């Protein structure tokens, strides 16, 4: 009877080992899947942060231009009022004409400097958006693949566990049969 209990304990220990071995595999696969999902989420968050940064840079550039324009307009109005109060209308008209020429020069300088910079920002932003969409598409496909593969792997692991327990039982029964013939 004691030998029978010892045999049952050994059988249970072997079954626990088989269960824990295959359950560890399953947990490992789940960890890999969860890790992939976390990396994907962090990558997409990084893209969102980068997108926000590009938008802030663009907004700041626009705000700087607006402030410069506003400041120049206020400065000219003040200068024109001062000139008109000191020198009269004729010098004011001359100042306005020179300001119009200056406006043309400033406009061209801005086109030469700011326009390429804005275009570059726009291209970078669009490229980043396209890249983000491509990565998102890849991540969606990977998620779909994981969702399709996960039940197959779980089924395989369950079958492997059952098969290994079956081999163990067959081994145990064959061992008992062989030992009983010698007794």
Q: What is the pLDDT of residues 31-89, one digit of tens each?
A: 999 999 999 999 999 999 998 998 898 899 889 888 988 988 898 888 888 888 887 78
How far apart, in whole angstroms, are the C-alpha atoms of residue 37 and residue 139? 8
**pLDDT tier, 6 (very low <50, low <70, confident <90, very high otherwise):** low
Q: Is the model's pLDDT at 8 over the cut of 70?
A: no
Q: What is the pLDDT of residue 130?
A: 93
Q: What is the pLDDT of residue 4?
A: 58
Higher pLDDT: 160 or 16? It is 160
How far apart, in whole angstroms, are the C-alpha atoms of residue 30 and residue 140? 18
Which tokens go with 18? 């088989």
Q: What is the pLDDT of residue 89?
A: 81
How far apart, in whole angstroms, are the C-alpha atoms of residue 26 and residue 23? 5
Q: What is the pLDDT of residue 5?
A: 60
Q: What is the pLDDT of residue 118?
A: 82
Residue pLDDT, tens place only, 107-166: 888 788 878 888 888 888 899 899 999 999 999 999 999 899 989 988 998 899 899 888
Specify whether the CB–CB gap between 92 and 84 falls below 8 A.
yes
Q: What is the pLDDT of residue 159?
A: 92
Length of the chain in terms of residues written: 183
Specify whether the CB–CB gap between 83 and 99 falls below 8 A.
no
Q: What is the pLDDT of residue 67?
A: 92
Q: What is the pLDDT of residue 165?
A: 87
Q: What is the pLDDT of residue 13?
A: 72
């Amino acid at each position: 009877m004691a030998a029978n209990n010892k045999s049952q304990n050994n059988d249970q220990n072997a079954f626990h080992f088989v269960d824990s071995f295959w359950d560890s595999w399953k947990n490992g696969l789940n960890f890999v899947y969860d890790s992939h999902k976390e990396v994907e989420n962090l990558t997409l968050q990084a893209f969102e942060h980068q997108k926000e940064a590009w938008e802030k840079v663009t907004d700041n550039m626009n705000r700087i231009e607006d402030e410069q324009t506003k400041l120049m307009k206020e400065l000219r109005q003040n200068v024109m009022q001062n000139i008109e109060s000191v020198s009269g209308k004729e010098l004011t008209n001359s100042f306005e004409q020179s300001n119009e020429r200056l406006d043309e020069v400033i406009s061209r300088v801005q086109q030469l400097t700011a326009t390429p910079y804005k275009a570059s920002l726009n291209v970078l932003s669009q490229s980043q958006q396209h890249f983000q969409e491509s990565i998102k598409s890849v991540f969606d496909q990977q998620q779909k693949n994981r969702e399709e593969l996960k039940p197959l792997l779980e089924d395989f692991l369950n079958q492997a566990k059952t098969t290994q327990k079956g081999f163990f039982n067959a081994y145990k029964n064959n061992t008992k049969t062989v030992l009983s013939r010698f007794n």
